[in-house]
A and B are shown apart, each in its own frame.
Chain A
């Protein structure tokens, strides 16, 4: 994303309530033109509400939405420079593929020849030129979603909203379609705002990700940063497979804090956060960054970059194997290792040491 690019979408202090239920709480976010932006979060977190509010399908309780700098809060969906792809059931069943894709152009009053030309081009972009005379029920789920995409991009609008467009597809098809979506966005160059609860899908397509939960915008950042360096403990818990450890600050020296976790003293970079002695802290470390080795005895490790626990079990996942280790305070830690060997595993209850590099562990004060 180019930081200098004008904002396609600006959401300012947006709140949305349904009676006593607050779906969005004072959300602020800016999305650049030409950006592939993903709203990621657990179900019921408010991401679809935000998307639908941007699209004009729901009115905000308070706050403002600006599209290309113009406030659109008062405009219905058909008057906004947006179009939308829905999760499912949104194709017009009484129209064939060509009529579905050309519907918006017909509404706009374009001549038939021009509609046919544009529809043909849009169908080429999504690889469905052979299916123009088929009805929606004669298409597979993936093809139906491509028709929705063609119907949206044919309108040449600046902003495309995608509400869980791949949720109804099977896992393999979802992976394939993810890449296709990303390539399509690069080809057409418009702003894509994509809602999903699937982090792999989000990582595949996103330039930036906004994590939304319980109506709050928890964190916004590049996909890599959200995954590798989450600011908030919620992000660490939701994205990737992170070990979340609870501890207490024992000592703070410069930018390093010593934290007591299950009897072990861990050293960690404070990242400029304000940490005081005795403060309750949360640490996170991705499971693939945690190494595992069997040790003799269960004395706490003293290097500040490892912790000792009792080996519990292993779970074979194909590409990786997850090793589950129980810490003295009962917390379960996972070490995920790319290995497909039949090598002997530590017996259940054996003392093991879990270790990591200094940069892999992160401190969260909230």
Chain B
């Protein structure tokens, strides 16, 4: 706080910040709360239980959806993040940056249902073309290439997540000086070695953040996934389908709460470790004398 600031204004800012956090977190906290209720959602009586958590593993639909979503998240992350990294590296050296950034960010500005429908039509047409090609060649080898499947959902999600990864990586890359790559090359490192030894450690935080962001986006996504595969496969589509058709089961609340717990714990740990590391480094630096000129 600035010494000239009004202390009440300072407190007001903190109160505002807490209110924002609470507004964001209340729905999540509420789901956590009811996941421990033996009587389920909407019941008048609240009886604490861990039963629903125990039953998660026996809910095959939920576990299947979770497995499907995790696989999708891993595949999309493994493809989208390296693509975004390459794109960001190209962007840094490109002459016509505006054109490149427009192309890469374009999917962000297309509404999800329009992008999903466009891809759906494209895949259906491609599928028809491939079947026709296979028929012409007398083989059924091409019949299932673009049938709505894991692959079509993955392609849709790669298109969706790549711009986000690109932006996140680009932000951390902004601080990187190309002189360091040139210095590494002057020391005898080839292009890959210079990237891996010198550039990657400095943009690692951005790459890992892009990975985390991609996983979260895949878990959250409904429209594109349901259009490109169907409404009963990923965790989100299963939850929404359940809610629309039969209402959410207590296990679903427990699973949602569990995922929220894990996400909060992971992100909280990262923040905590970062803060502790920064403090440790600052303490070490304070212990050393000031640089002597020259």
Chain A residues near B (Cβ < 8 Å): 55-57, 76-78, 82-84, 86-94, 103-104, 107-108, 134, 138-143, 146, 148, 151-152, 155, 161, 169, 173, 176-177
Contact = CB atoms under 8 A, between A and B. Distances in A.
B195 to A, nearest CB: 13
Interface stretch (B57-65, B119-127, B178-186, B255-263): B178-186
Contacts of A176: 294
Contacts of A177: 294
Nearest to B95: A19
B138 interface: no
B183 A78 contact: no
Given A57-B182, A82-B186, A107-B188, A94 B294 contact: no
B44 interface: no
Interface string B255-294: 0000000000000000000000000000001001001111
Contacts of A87: 179
Interface residues of B, number: 24
Contacts of A90: 177, 179-180, 182-183
A107 B294 contact: no
A166 B187 CA distance: 20
A84 B179 CA distance: 10
B188 A104 contact: yes
B276 to A, nearest CB: 18
Interface in B154-195: 177, 179-180, 182-191, 193
A155 B187 contact: yes
Contacts of A77: 182, 185-186
Nearest to B288: A138
Given A83-B186, A90-B183, A103 B197 contact: yes
Contacts of B184: 92, 103, 107
Contacts of B191: 76
B75 interface: no
Contacts of B190: 76, 78
Given A90-B177, A92-B198, A55 B291 contact: no
A169 B294 contact: yes
Given A103-B197, A140-B292, A143-B294, A89 B180 contact: yes
6 contacts: A86-B179, A91-B180, A138-B285, A142-B293, A152-B186, A173-B294
B247 interface: no
B202 interface: yes
A83 B182 contact: no
Given A93-B202, A107-B187, A107-B188, A86 B291 contact: no
Of B179, B193, B201, B285, most buried by chain A (CB within 10 Å of CB) is B179
A147 B225 CA distance: 53
A71 to B, nearest CB: 19
B186 A140 contact: no
B193 A107 contact: yes
B187 A151 contact: yes
A125 to B, nearest CB: 15
Given A78-B190, A103-B187, A143 B291 contact: yes
A270 B288 CA distance: 64
Given A86-B183, A140-B292, A155 B201 contact: no
B210 to A, nearest CB: 19
Contact of B187 (A104, A134, A138): A104
Would you list the 5 A-B pairs with minimal beta carbon distance, nearest first?
Answer: A142-B294, A104-B187, A140-B291, A84-B186, A90-B183
Nearest to A127: B294
Contacts of A84: 182-183, 186
A151 B189 CA distance: 13
Contacts of A92: 180, 183-184, 197-198
B185 to A, nearest CB: 4
A156 B198 CA distance: 22
Contacts of B201: 94
A173 B292 CA distance: 12
A89 B185 contact: no
Contacts of A91: 180, 183
Given A78-B190, A151-B187, 12 more contacts: A57-B182, A57-B185, A76-B190, A76-B191, A82-B186, A92-B197, A107-B189, A107-B197, A138-B285, A138-B288, A143-B294, A161-B186
Contacts of A151: 183, 187
Interface string B216-256: 00000000000000000000000000000000000000000
A140 B193 CA distance: 28
B173 to A, nearest CB: 14
Contacts of A134: 288
Nearest to A82: B186
Contacts of A82: 186
A87 B182 CA distance: 12
Given A83-B186, A90-B179, A143 B292 contact: yes
A96 B34 CA distance: 52
Contacts of A161: 186
A147 to B, nearest CB: 11
Contacts of B292: 140, 143
Of B193, B197, B285, most buried by chain A (CB within 10 Å of CB) is B197
